Amino acid sequence: MSTKQAEETEFRELQQRLPELWTEFHERPSASHTCIIVPSLSFDQEELGKVAGVPFYEERLLFFLMRLRRPGARIMYVTSQPVDPDIVHYYLTLLTGVPANHAERRLTMLCLYDATPRALTEKILERPRVVQRIRDWAGERARAYLTCFNSTPLERQLAVDLGIPLLGVDPDLSWIGTKSGGRSVFRDAGVPCASGRERLRTESEVVDALDALTADRPGIRRAVVKLNAGFSGEGNALYTFPQDLPQQNGKRKAALASALDDLKFAAEGHRKDAFLAKFSEMGGVVEEFLEAPEVESPSVQLRINPRRELTVVSTHDQVLGGDSGQVYLGCRFPASPDYRADIIEKALRVGEVLVEQGALGRFSVDFLAVRHPEQDWKCWAVEINLRMTGTTFPFVALQFLTGGSLDADGEFRSQRGVPKYYFATDTLSAPAYRGLLPQDFLEIVIHHGLHFRPSTETGVLFHMIGALSQYGKIGVICVGDTPEEADELHRRTREVLDAETSATSGGRGRLTSLFDDLPHAMD
């Protein structure tokens, strides 16, 4: 048996512990258990590097410190760079029912002091002493598990080296989470997706796929070329078909190939040659760019627990932007009731296929909802994110803070029966915000009363606070009793930060400018 086969066998054996662990710490909150959180973004680092402030995305999983509400929980949180103690304390003060100092005694922050642009899991694995330190801290490993942002062979190796199971999908199934894999699953589930072709590698295959689209969809105007493992829409490129394509096969394909020179990239750093080289490396898809007078980008978040039970976690309307209109900027919870039931039904069909294939953990299904005049909404599946996403953390925070749950219609009510709504983004930014230390920022928040108030279960939650000083960028979750209140909290947060940093309209961040032009409830 090879080393890889031995690792895979041991990993599967470790995973068999999860059903019993899951049942115990969900049915008995006081039961003793240990969670190792490794917020590694184990993606293609070249593509990931195109996201501003990405070194601080490791802070997004800090919302999982709310697991310390369970008095039997112990957590170790591992990071590449130090997290300011004031930031950690900010999260601990959000806990209800447990004193912050009691939770703090059950928390260990472990920093590697390594800012190189590599996956955190890779950094841990190359440090045997760190691995041993984590093993020693975990203690009784039969009652411990590993939580990661996504699952790759790196996370599988770490789970085996630590001798604890990974609360996530087996990396052997990671193909499902690619753009090509998602299209295959949609077909198996009988869920419609845009016309297109997948499992492509070469430029000539891209041209052939574009040619096939002209036959499948006469009069098609635009298509999307997507990297299989793009992140937050940054791996997409918008293609515009030439007008008056020649009928002769060779000339038509030459014209289609020539139009690749005018690809419009979601990521600012992409250029045609580099993009196609990356496309050749990781593969991708070509599909129709769906257009209509009304277009929305909803998503459904689901979870398959270790007992193989499939549940809907939440729905969101995603806000997309950037030059191509395909970059994830934020989300509103929940998705519109106009199509919410439809996307939930379709997502559950996708989830059932994933259950059959042995998937585990959190995932989401993204859709495009389109409507023409005097017609109903029609929803098309776009991709499967077989991991946590930007919509994961806001809902986790809301659920932990309010003790509420989703009802049959996809509405969320707190434990007190009050409906809750939020707007969330990772990218509230402006150049003038740079230089704000966590202490400066928290003083501003408290002075203006922006913080989340348990008494009303409304207010603003903040994340990626560490990114402010260098990048002028922060994440916000604005929770209200109505959609309008959530949007107003977002507006007020921007206004306060602009005023406190003397940001002028010309210095405001890209997201701010985009949102000023978007029609939504707060206008």
Q: CB within 8 A of 229, min separation 6: which ones?
A: 43, 44, 47, 178, 179, 235, 282
Backbone angles phi, psi at 18, to 5 degrees: -60, -45
> Alpha-carbon distance 92 to 87, whole Å?
9
Across the range 389-395, mean pLDDT stands at 86
Q: CB within 8 A of 434, min separation 6: which ones?
A: 468, 469, 470, 471, 472
Q: How confident is the model at residue 191 (pLDDT cuts 50, 70, 90)?
A: very high
pLDDT tens for 323-334 read 656 677 889 999
Q: Which of 380-413 are b and which e, b meaning 16 or more Cβ less than 10 Å from the residue's Cβ?
A: bbbbbbbbbbbbbbbbbbbbbbbebebeeebbbe
Q: How confident is the model at residue 409 (pLDDT cuts 50, 70, 90)?
A: confident
> Alpha-carbon distance 400 to 418, whole Å?
15
Positive or negative, the Cα torsion across 390, 41, 234, 433? Answer: positive
For β-strands 107-111 and 73-79, DSSP reports them as: parallel
Question: In a 3-state reduction of DSSP, which class is residue 257?
Answer: helix
Question: In a 3-state reduction of DSSP, which class is residue 96?
Answer: coil
- Contact indicator for 151, 387 with CB cutoff of 8 Å: yes
pLDDT tens for 249-273 read 889 999 999 999 999 887 666 688 8
Q: How confident is the model at residue 316 (pLDDT cuts 50, 70, 90)?
A: very high
> Alpha-carbon distance 406 to 314, whole Å?
7
> Alpha-carbon distance 403 to 414, whole Å?
6
- Model confidence at 520: pLDDT above 50: no
Q: Please give the C-alpha separations between residue 482 and each of 231, 392, 402, 485, 521, in angstroms, as whole numbers.
A: 31, 20, 15, 5, 10
Cβ burial of 209 (10 Å; 0-12, 13-18, 19+) is buried
Across the range 382-398, mean pLDDT stands at 89
- What's residue 326's pLDDT? 64
- Model confidence at 501: pLDDT above 50: yes
> Alpha-carbon distance 168 to 498, whole Å?
40
Q: What is the mean pLDDT of the chain?
A: 88
- What's residue 510's pLDDT? 36
For β-strands 236-240 and 264-265, DSSP reports them as: antiparallel
Q: Return the closest-CA partner of residue 424 out of 468, 474, 378, 374.
A: 474
- What's residue 238's pLDDT? 92
- What's residue 341's pLDDT? 96
Percent of the chain with pLDDT over 70: 92
Q: How confident is the model at residue 319 (pLDDT cuts 50, 70, 90)?
A: confident
